Amino acid sequence: MAMQDLLKAEDIKKALDSFKAADSFDHKKFFELVGLKAMSAENVKKVFRVLDVDASGFIEEEELKFVLKGFSKDGRDLTDKETKAFLDAADKDGDGKIGIDGKRQRERQRDRNTIQTNISRTETDRKRAETNTSTETSSREPKETNADKKRQKLRANQKETNSFRGPM
């Protein structure tokens, strides 16, 4: 899909003409001039997909440098300063890319879930190890058998009996 299918050609030309000079680009004004601010969320997503040249779901710094060419072949390249300023303004999580359609949030949630799963597994493994250690420790200790209990009773009874008899 071409950008002219989504936006008016005269709006694109007017916006590009407004920012012909190097270091004059203002993304907010540019998007307002091309009509993006008045568009539905679905159409903004379509514009984003046109600008996302590698179809990664993100606009990375290298793509951002050529963003004006995404609107028209006559568009100029952004300067490094403009590219950095634009990226800093639009990159909400500091990952060096601009996302849309909740993809970034889904990826972050997936990462959080993975981390939480790993933490849970580690915690479970730790508990198992503790249980195995305590089981091993208790199995090393001698267990009192019924025979031992009987012997202890007999000894106790003998001591009582001897204490009643007195010295002989």
* Tens-place pLDDT, residues 20-58: 999 999 999 999 999 988 899 899 999 999 999 999 999
pTM value? 0.58
96: Cβ contacts below 8 Å, ≥ 6 apart: 60, 61, 87
User: Which residues are documented as binding site?
Assistant: 52, 54, 56, 58, 63, 91, 93, 95, 97
Pick the residue with more confidence: 106 or 117? 117
What are the structural domain ranges in the chain? 3-101, 102-133
Superfamily grouping for domain 3-101: EF-hand (1.10.238.10)
User: Which residues are documented as binding site for Ca(2+)?
Assistant: 52, 54, 56, 58, 63, 91, 93, 95, 97
CA distance 151 to 72: 99
Average pLDDT of the residues in 55-66: 92
Average pLDDT of the residues in 149-163: 73
From the list 9, 158, 140, the residue with the least C-alpha distance to 74 is 9
| Dihedral of alpha carbons 47, 50, 56, 58, sign | negative
